[in-house]
């Protein structure tokens, strides 16, 4: 998978579509620290996926796009880890995404593809927390939190 350090590009847009099957969480619920989520690419409808294959540039854990609306497996599950003291994911909150099957953190670095995705940075998984595996949502739809009684 690749990323770009340039301004927002629609090809890199991901959305949190729904939690894994067999959970009581619904789309639109607040997303607490530690929640298991799936990210879906907005244009291709494929899931953010990882597995134990080596990534092509760095040899870390490969991250790819996989499946579609009706095709998903545990390789698409990511744990949301909020940086700091927040209990639920809010706008402008720094997060990490840890892959459930591999334990790797979603990561990027300055190594770039030369041919297939020329000039784009590799996105991969690494097994340790680093400064370059902290993420921030660039934009989104944020709903006010309604406290349940």
pLDDT score recorded for residue 142: 66
pLDDT of residue 85: 87
Fold of 2-133: Trefoil (Acidic Fibroblast Growth Factor, subunit A) (2.80.10)
Domain boundaries, the chain: 2-133
How far is residue 31's CA from residue 97's CA, in Å, rounded to a whole number? 13
pLDDT for res 75: 95
Q: Mean pLDDT in runs of 10 for the chain (149 residues)?
A: 44 67 77 91 90 90 90 93 90 92 92 68 92 83 60
The DSSP secondary structure of 100-144, one letter per residue, reads TTT-PEEEEEEEE-SSTTTTPEEEEEESS--GGG-B---S---PP
pLDDT for the residue numbered 139: 73
């Amino acid at each position: 998978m690749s990323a770009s350090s340039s301004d927002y590009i629609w090809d890199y847009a991901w959305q949190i579509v729904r939690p894994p099957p067999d959970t009581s969480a619904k789309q639109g619920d607040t997303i607490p620290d530690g929640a298991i989520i799936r990210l879906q690419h907005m244009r291709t409808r494929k899931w953010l996926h990882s597995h134990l294959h080596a990534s092509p540039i760095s040899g870390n854990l490969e991250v790819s796009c996989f499946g579609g609306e009706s095709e998903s497996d545990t390789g698409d599950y990511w744990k949301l880890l909020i940086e700091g003291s927040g209990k639920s994911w809010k706008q402008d909150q720094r997060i990490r995404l840890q892959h459930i099957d591999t334990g790797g953190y979603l990561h990027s670095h300055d190594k770039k593809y030369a041919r297939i995705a020329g000039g784009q940075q590799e996105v991969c998984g690494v097994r340790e927390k680093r400064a370059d595996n902290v993420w921030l949502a660039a934009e989104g739809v944020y709903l006010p939190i309604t406290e349940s009684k």
